[in-house]
Amino acid sequence: MAQEKISKKSKFYVTWRRLKRSRTAIIGIVLLSIVLFFALFADLLFDYRADAIKQNSRIRLQGPSWAHPFGTDEFGRDVLARVVFGTPESPKQKIKNLAGLFYEQMLSYV
């Protein structure tokens, strides 16, 4: 009687192997990691008052450059800094919207 070697692989291992084969999945993971990095370290990367709020009419409507990778808006504020500081607020707002929708649906049945 030959002994058969049974390999038990975890679901995580199987899923990770499938993800590694998918180019679009890897691109999505990389992009999500970049967004999470900026969301977590926004305070260390940018000064909120100087870059995102303070208006500077001398540098308004500039295109992308090394100083301002996304350019500046009509008030001279750095667009990248505003995007980075807005990233953590987006999930919070979505949760509030979903809670409001749920509450509204519950009230409509009353």
pLDDT tens-digit readout, 26-48: 999 898 888 888 777 877 877 88
Rounded Cα distance between 18 and 109, Å, is: 44
Rounded Cα distance between 40 and 34, Å, is: 10
* Of 55, 52, 73, nearest in space to 64 by CA: 73
Give strand pairing partners of 72: 78
pLDDT at 4: 59
Average pLDDT in the chain: 81
Most confident of 15-19, 22-26, 49-53, 79-83: 22-26
> How many percent of the chain have pLDDT more than 70?
91
Rounded Cα distance between 62 and 94, Å, is: 31
Q: DSSP label at 72?
A: B
pLDDT at 43: 79
Higher pLDDT, 110 or 109: 109
pLDDT at 35: 80
pLDDT at 67: 86
pTM: 0.56
Rounded Cα distance between 107 and 9, Å, is: 48
Q: DSSP label at 104?
A: H
Calculate the alpha carbon distances from 42 to 4, 47, 79 in Å: 54, 8, 13
